[in-house]
Structures are given as structure tokens and as C-alpha cells.
A and B are shown apart, each in its own frame.
Chain A
Amino acid sequence: MTEAALTKPGPFVPSRYRVVDRKTETFDITTLWLEPVDQPIDAFEAGQFNMLTVFGVGEIAISISSAPGAPGAIEHTVRDVGTVSHALSQSAVGDIVGVRGPFGTDWGLASLDAVDVVVVAGGIGLAPLRGAMRYLAENKSPERTVALRVGARLPDQIVFPDEIARWGEMGIDVAVTVDVADAGWTGHVGVVTQILAELPFDGEGAVALVCGPEIMMRFSARSLIDLGVAPENIRVSLERNMQCGIAMCGHCQLGPYLLCRDGPVVPYAPLAAELITESER
């Protein structure tokens, strides 16, 4: 006599979502709006990610770029760097994709009501931070000043430029820098650490949310520490190969972390500072 066969969906089975809108943000970055066909995933927090499946191609981890608690479709902003992200970037309105999640740790917005916040985003790094930025811009707190520092390669590779401008109008202290530009660009040209130097508040007691390439996060963290931000108050978003998203396939390990469970958002101190400097860890 056998035990009842296992046929109920488990944590490996995706929910079906439909692409209801799409936007080409830059030459290799696309935002997709997804609405559930099946049971929607649980409520998510800013900084978490989903595993997105393109049926017939594969499954990858993508941060959720919409604000938590916002009604309507959930958004994912994807950079075209591989087979699955390419397929996602090519998705058409009406396509069905699979969604599993939400997974991982979040930016901890609940802890930011009464502290100054500096958000540092490099390249596609603004996408995992967008949900948090929308929340911070829309939920002003008299005890909190928010500064946003964005770095990109070229002006036309800045993600969400209209939204960045709107956040500036909503009271966020915004500065954007690019690696190089032509003279039509009146913003800053240089690395993001150079525009970090001018913060509208004292670093001590402030919390930093940092996301971008690991080298950029490292240099930004050092600059933030020089400005007085406590290393344990710097939150970075780390990335490794993710396959199951539920802490049992072993691929997303980074030293003691299983990044799908203990990350992607981790404090810079005591561990991340070393982990993102060590080679072949």
C-alpha cells in the first residue's frame, strides 16, 4: 500500500502570471508588468526577489521593482545578460511567465522611520531599490531626510530618469552621475563616490541602502564609512547563482550566507565587507 501520491503544488511549482505591459527602459533594460493568472504570490517587501520562469527557456532570480503594498501589477526590471533574461526582455504583452516567491531579505523599510537614509544605486542596481525609493518618497517622515545618489555609464543608460526627477520634486535630495557624457548633459560626470561626498545630513546614525556591481558597492561603502555611516548600517544587495530560491540547492552560497534566504540584502559589516573582496569565494 503506497502513501498518497504527492500531486499538490509545492514550493518548486510556479504561479502563472501574464505580461500586461512592458517598457524598454534602455538598450538592454526592460520593465515588465505582471498580473496573476493563478493564485498570486504572497505580499512582498522592498528588496525581495522572485524566480521568473520563461517556459521553454529557464528560470532566473529577478528583484521586484514595484513598491510593496501598491495595488495592481507587480513590476520586474530585467537586464539582458543571458538566455533567460534575454527571453524576458523579449516578452510580449499577453505572454505567460511563471513566478515563484517572494524570496530573500528586504531593505528593512520599517526600521527607517526616524533615521536619515542615503540610497546609492549603480546601473541596474536602481531596480531592486525602486520599490524602496517609491516608499520613501511617498511616505515622508519629519524625522527623516532621504538622499539618492545614482551612477550610470552614459546619460541614456540611466534607468527610470523620469521617476528620479519626480522623486527630486517630492523632496528627495537627488544627484546623478555618469562615467562620461557629451556637453548636452548638465548633470555630474564622475564616479558615484564623488557625488556621495555632499550629503545633506551627518553620516552618523544614517542608514545606507546600496545596490550595484560589487566593486561599486565596495567603494561606495568605504566612502560612506568615511562620511561617518556605521558599517553595520550600510545594507548591500548581493548576488550569486540562484536556482531553487528556497535554500536547498546550494548554489547561492557566499561563505556563511545562503543568499536566497539570508540575502540578498545583508549588512556590510561584519561579513559582507570581506565576502565581496575575497577572490573565488
Chain B
Amino acid sequence: MPSPDGVVIDPDGVDSLITSLRAQGYRVVGPVVSNGAIVHREIQSVADLPNGWHDEQRPGSYRISHGGDHELFGWAVGPESFKQSVFPSQAVLWRARRDGGEVAIEAGADDAPREAFFGARPCEVAALDVLGGVLAGAARPDPVFTRRRDAAFVVTVECGAPAATCFCTSMGSGPAAGGNFDLALTELTGPDHRFLVRVGSERGGAVLAEIPSRPATADDAKARDAVIGRAESAISRTLDAAAAPGLLARNLEHPRWDDVATRCLACGNCTLVCPTCFCAAVEEKTDLTGTVEQTRRWDSCFDLAHSYLHGGSVRVSTRSRYRQWMTHKLSTWVDQFGNSGCIGCGRCITWCPVGIDITEELAAIAASDGAVKKDEPAAVRDR
């Protein structure tokens, strides 16, 4: 039985953990280096992890490099989150066969194997809870999300190396573990490279019991506190989450929207990398044999057709679409679901091709709260 303060395992123990999860039938998904980024793939052992890799993130820039060390989790987040696992980018909702005048319908089957999310950052766990508020909290929950989320075994890894674009501390989502997870790891580097492991669920405890470990000591706890403390200090960006809903609601005509519209490409990258964006298009596909498929695929509010109403779209200008994205994420999401849609991972800042920074945009509006663009009429001169 692990002690209430957790146990300690070494890097071989991490390997054992992965092996044990695989043996129990989990498809273990974790971070790997691929094509110059740290992305999520199925992993077989600790050797697949980004051993010694570190990331450097800035608005519109992402680079990884090898530090010559052995730190397994010395990086923040990559472009992908675990959203894809619980909310697949494409899903068949139902199929229908038309035969003469009759129609036979069959619900789409979801038979994806259960997964273990290995290395989900605290902000990503928070994101899963935010997504759950939308997809599982509804009066008619999404059965695919519910099934996959309930089945998923979450191994969260606390953050030791936040990126310059992170602001989880402002959103209450990190760098310490929180939310619903099964096991929480904290990497403690140095001559004694080890991992503090704490249990978050009965299921997590059962899996941990199979791994050789020793009880955590007060020194281990202190070392963990130092990691968290250093991570908190390293986070440089802030966002006033409590003020955002009201601030944005009363500044819908702020001149900053025009300013950001001159930079935003409406490319939708931010919505693609965001772990909480949930917009999805429901579409029908037909083939010549009479089979009809209703599918759901990820959509983006930056898409011009997103707000289509007979006759045209409501949000045509880039200005209105950027405003929709940001005010939804930070303000109207709270009206709709009772919490912020943002968890402060900073992916939207890193992966924006022109480097638009949501924290900077909010601060700019706050700095001139109430500003309104004035149209200057041509001066009338007395003759």
C-alpha cells in the first residue's frame, strides 16, 4: 500500500509502469519526438519517451533541442493534447441504408481500445475536465466522450520546465497536479534521478502496487516542492481570468479587435491546438449505393461557414471571428458552462503563425477598458 505522501520509483520503474499498463490491455499513448516536435503516439517503453529533450516556445515559434541530459519530461507541451483521444477528430454518428422507400439506421460504433494517457500535464488534465463539462455535462451527453474518458487511465506528470508561453498559474491548472487523474508523477533530477508517484484513484493505486517502489521521504517531498516552486516562478505570462468575462463583455467594440484583425489570418491554428476547443461540424455523406453516413468532424469558429444562416454567414469579418474565439474562450464559456474554457497551456500563442498572444490581447483591452473606436468625420472649415 503506497504511503499517503506517495512512493518513489526510478526510471526503470517508469518502464515497468508502461509495461504493466500495456499488460492490462491499455493502449499507452505518450510523448515522443517526431518531426521536430514532441507529439503523442503509442509507446512501448521508457525508451520511446523524449529522453533529454527540451522545448523552447515563443509566440509563433516552437523548437526542441537535446540537452545532453537524461531528463524524461524536461519540456512543457507539444502541439497535440489528449483531446484527440476522447473527442476524435472524425466520428461516424450513424449510417443509414435507403432501400426503396424504406430506411434502416445503425448507430456508429465506437470500439476504440481503452487508452492510458502517459505524461498528461496538469493543464491537460484540467482541459479534459473542461471538455467533460461540455460533452459529458450536457443533458444528453456524448456517448463516445463518456466511454473513452471513463476508460482512460491518466498518468499526469507535474511540470518542471514550463515554457515562456505557459500561464497555467493564472488559470488554476498547474504546474502541480490537479483534477481527475489516476497517478501523478513528479520527476526529480540530479544524481539520484527518481520519480515521486502519488495516487489519484483506486485504479491508480492498484496499478502502482505492481511496481517496485519505496516510500517517499520528507526529502523527496521537499524536492518535489522545489520543482513546483521553481516552475511557478518560471512562468512569466499572466491572465486575469476572474476579470476576463466582464471585461470582454463590456468591450465588444474595443479598437483592439480592429488591431488584432490586421494580424490574424483566420487560419484556425489556435482552435486546432487548443485542448478545449470543441466545435464540430455534423455532416451527411452519401454514396451511390444509397448508404448515408452522418459524421462529426472538428470544426473551427474561424471557418467562414461556421456561422452560416440561410443567406450568408453572421460572422464574416476576421475581426468578428477572432472576437468570437477569444470572448467565447474567456467570457461566454463561463456563461454557458460555469467555468473558463482556457487552461493556460499557451499552445495558441506558440502555434499562431503571426504570434498573437491571448494574454497580451486581454491585457491591452484591460489597459484601456471602455475605449471605443471613433469615426472621425472630415473637419468642417469656416470659409
Partner-B contacts on A (CB < 8 A): 1-3, 5-14, 16, 53, 55-59, 81-82, 85, 94-96, 98, 239-241, 243-244, 246-251, 253, 255-258, 261-262, 278-281
Contact A94 B101 (CB under 8 A): yes
- Extra A-B contacts (4), CB below 8 Å, given A56-B290, A247-B134: A3-B114, A248-B135, A250-B280, A257-B336
B301 close to A (CB within 8 Å)? yes
Contact A57 B107 (CB under 8 A): no
B267 close to A (CB within 8 Å)? no
Docked complex: B79-109 residues within 8 A CB-CB of A: 93-94, 96, 98, 101-103, 105, 107-109
B306 close to A (CB within 8 Å)? yes
CA distance A249 to B283 in the complex (A): 12
The residue on A at minimum CB distance from B327 is A255
Majority SS at the chain B contact face: mixed
B316 close to A (CB within 8 Å)? yes
Contact B314 A281 (CB under 8 A): yes
Task: Provide a sorted-by-A list of 7 A–B residue pairs whose CB atoms are within 8 angstroms.
Answer: A3-B147, A6-B110, A6-B143, A9-B105, A53-B294, A96-B101, A257-B335
Q: Which 10 A-B pairs have the closest CB atoms?
A: A256-B335, A250-B279, A280-B320, A11-B140, A5-B111, A10-B143, A12-B93, A81-B310, A6-B110, A243-B282
Contact A280 B317 (CB under 8 A): yes
- Chain B's interface size range is 35 or more
B284 close to A (CB within 8 Å)? yes
Docked complex: B211-251 residues within 8 A CB-CB of A: none
| Inter-chain contacts of A98 with B (CB < 8 A) | 96, 103, 105
| Inter-chain contacts of A243 with B (CB < 8 A) | 280-282
Question: Looking at the complex, which one of A7, A14, A246, A280 makes contact with B316 (CB distance below 8 Å)?
Answer: A280
Question: Looking at the complex, which one of B94, B135, B335 makes contact with A13 (CB distance below 8 Å)?
Answer: B94
| Inter-chain contacts of B96 with A (CB < 8 A) | 55, 98
Partner-A contacts on B (CB < 8 A): 25, 93-94, 96, 98, 101-103, 105, 107-114, 134-135, 138-144, 147, 151, 252, 278-284, 286, 290, 292, 294, 296, 299, 301, 306-311, 314-317, 319-320, 324, 328, 331-332, 335-336
CA distance A136 to B248 in the complex (A): 41
Contact B151 A246 (CB under 8 A): no
| Inter-chain contacts of B101 with A (CB < 8 A) | 94-96
Contact A2 B113 (CB under 8 A): yes
Contact B114 A2 (CB under 8 A): yes
CA distance A140 to B175 in the complex (A): 63
Contact A13 B107 (CB under 8 A): yes
Question: How far in angstroms is the closest Cβ of chain A from B111?
Answer: 4
Contact A16 B105 (CB under 8 A): yes
Contact A56:B98 (CB < 8 A) given known A7-B107, A98-B105, A240-B309: yes
Contact B109 A248 (CB under 8 A): no
CA distance A246 to B135 in the complex (A): 9
Contact A6 B284 (CB under 8 A): no
Contact A241 B308 (CB under 8 A): yes
Question: Looking at the complex, which one of A5, A14, A55, A240 makes contact with B98 (CB distance below 8 Å)?
Answer: A55
Question: How far in angstroms is the closest Cβ of chain B from A10?
Answer: 4
| Inter-chain contacts of A244 with B (CB < 8 A) | 280, 282, 296
Question: How far in angstroms is the closest Cβ of chain B from A55?
Answer: 5
Contact B307 A56 (CB under 8 A): no
Question: Looking at the complex, which one of B135, B286, B309, B319 makes contact with A239 (CB distance below 8 Å)?
Answer: B309
Contact A248 B94 (CB under 8 A): no
Contact A248 B111 (CB under 8 A): no
CA distance A17 to B345 in the complex (A): 46
| Inter-chain contacts of A16 with B (CB < 8 A) | 103, 105
Contact B140 A5 (CB under 8 A): no
| Inter-chain contacts of B113 with A (CB < 8 A) | 2-3
CA distance A87 to B68 in the complex (A): 64
Contact A5 B105 (CB under 8 A): no
Question: Considering residues B101, B102, B103, B314, which has the most beta carbons from chain A within 10 angstroms of its beta carbon?
Answer: B103
